[in-house]
Amino acid sequence: MIKVLANDGIDKSAEEALKAAGCEVDTNHYDGAELIAKLKEVNAVVIRSATKLTAEIFEGINGGNLKLAIRAGVGIDNIDIPAGEKAGVTVTNTPSASSDSVAELALGHMFSVARHIGITNVTMREGKWEKKNYKGVELDGKTLGLIGFGRIARSLAKKAEALGMKVIYTDLLGKVAGYDQFKHCAKDDVLKDADFVSLHIPFDKQAGATIGSKEFAQMKDGVYLINCARGGVVDEAALITALDNGKVAAAGIDVFEKEPTDNTVLINHPKVSVTPHIGASTGEAQKRIGAEVVDLITNFSF
């Protein structure tokens, strides 16, 4: 019997499908030494954002039964892949299941910052009627610049195009075939020409933040920044400075350098729309992710 640990939970339909396939499924959450001990017992582990599978954890379970580690989502930056491979563990993810959900949240943040939806929710609940203070901008006719052009960015590009936005993008792999309606540009040109900049890239610990003081200086005055990708790709201190001096008109942020975040200055900033890393948190996405997890486990050679 294949033993599966879903350490950050899993959609009920996926849990039932795994059990129907003859798997034993544990949906409890474990940390530290308890997690290491549990991982030695199971054949597969499924995690989301809360669990970090570090080199120390993989070293601790080396020689155990674990053969497969699945990140139920797009990014795999919370799994030390080389350490996993060294321990004989295959590391994989569910890259396509949550694309539309994350793209819709990014679009939601774009509307929120363009029309002051987040801050006016706050001020009205404080008994204030500050209609004259919140003149917004329309998305129609604006240029959306995408840093990274993977599945999520492509989904967002199509939605933005339907709203009348011009979409430009940059990607390490160059121009992406089949998307000729969107203009591929150098990163510097995307930063320079975009009215809205949305990030769709992983965090590289060695390289550090992709967007910092230098990049903000390249952007238009009054640019809008959206980050539903990964914490760390934006230098939070540099972002706060750019918000304070008006370089950035507003920002929509779903991911943070530290999670749960303790950056109270950022999350309480009147020009920021914030959510607690909920890009993939829709019922539809979790069902798709769960189905992909089931396929990965049931088709794996343990």
Rounded Cα gap, residues 10 and 29, in angstroms: 11
Tokens of 262: 């303790």
Q: Is 259 among the catalytic positions?
A: yes
Q: Is 277 among the catalytic positions?
A: yes
> Which one is catalytic: 16, 138, 259, 284?
259
Instruction: Output the CA–CA distances (angstroms, integers) from residue 192 to 43, 111, 201, 273, in the order listed.
Output: 49, 21, 18, 23
Q: Give me the half-sphere count of Cα atoms (radius 13 Å) on the Cβ side of residue 170.
A: 16
> Which one is catalytic: 230, 236, 288, 292?
230
Rounded Cα gap, residues 296 and 90, in angstroms: 11
> Which one is catalytic: 48, 277, 288, 292?
277
Rounded Cα gap, residues 180 and 198, in angstroms: 19
Tokens of 13: 């339909």
Rounded Cα gap, residues 27 and 72, in angstroms: 14
177 burial via Cβ count (<10 Å: 0-12, 13-18, 19+): exposed
Phi (first) and psi of residue 208, to 5 degrees = 80, -160
Length of the chain, in residues:
302
Annotated active-site positions, please?
230, 259, 277
